[in-house]
Amino acid sequence: MKLFAALGEPEVDPWGFLLPFAPLVWTAILTSLVVVLTAMLLLSSFISVRSHASDTVNTNAITMIRVLLQQDIAVAGNWWWERLVLGMWMMMTLVLTRSYAGNLMSLLAVRHIPQPYQQLQEVMDDPSVSVIWLTNSTPLFYYRSAESTVSREMNEAEADGRIVLQKLSEMATSVNTLLKQGSYVMVETETFLTMMITQAFSKTGTCDFYMSKEGFFPITQSLIGQKYSPLVPAMSKRIMFLAEYGLIDLLKKKSNANAALCLQTPSKVTVTKPFAMTNLWGIFIVLTGGYAFSIIILGTEMFTVHY
């Protein structure tokens, strides 16, 4: 069993300027800054004793931050070890800033195609989404009776009218109607959903739907017959023959050839367009926030510090 839903429109991540580095890298940069300042403080205490240690710490901190922000240095270190530490810091920040700038230009051209629902729990957590289930199906009976968080939430969703029960023929029709609205998610077997993707692609020539990467509730499908009927072993023998020779897999592959194109649809696409506010409004929020914080600090200093 897998989830089946409509693909969203390509979206721009307004906080994409944070993506060139992983959170661990940002943490490592700030940690390195603290380590370098600590090292300079210790070296200043043991190698070149100065009378104004606080001024030295403030100067070194401002210098290191200015280097990280690619600004000029007003006062260079007077001691050889200060110049050595500063040179190593400049070399490291040069590599970081060049890597950041190059990756940022590439990431600003990327659009993300949302595929929000990969697990049944995620669907249950979104009250705006309804779920289409096959009526009288085995998984539906299981989740109605099982004692789990998802089962309890499904029973609550069914009481709220978020569970839509349909026949198999109705589900095939709902793919091009309800699912395209974006407020419905279908739950069915991977075989059935693959066939739906093939039919949709054959009609439109585009990949409008996606299937969740994670599956749940594996089901064994088989033909049934009357007990002790001679037809049952005859059917079993022929089905085993088809399976051993790979004819069943070959038939599924040929009948769902178009589905392979949509099942491998990337979640990110590259678009060549001029930058707009939709790309960069996150940066302007950071800039505005920095100015506001600076004004607050300035006002605090004016009213609290007496010169």
Q: Report the distance separating Cα 163 and Cα 139, nearest Å.
A: 13
Residues 232, 222 contacting (CB under 8 angstroms): no
Confirm if 8 and 179 have CB atoms less than 8 A apart.
no
Enter the pTM of the model: 0.57
Can you give the pLDDT of all 307 residues of the chain as single tens digits? 899 888 877 777 777 777 788 888 888 988 988 888 888 777 777 665 554 455 566 677 778 888 888 877 765 556 677 778 888 888 888 888 888 888 887 777 777 777 888 888 888 888 888 999 888 888 888 888 877 788 888 888 888 888 889 888 888 888 888 888 878 999 988 888 888 888 888 788 778 888 888 888 887 778 888 888 999 999 999 989 988 888 888 887 777 666 766 777 666 656 666 667 777 788 888 889 989 999 998 888 888 876 5
Query: Are the C-beta atoms of residues 259 and 197 closer than 8 Å to each other?
Result: yes
Structure-token pair, residue 71: 């600004």
What are the tokens at 19? Answer: 């993506």
CA distance 277 to 283: 10
| Beta-ladder partners of 294 | none
* CA-CA-CA-CA torsion sign (221, 223, 226, 232): negative
What are the domain boundaries of the chain?
Answer: 16-110, 115-269
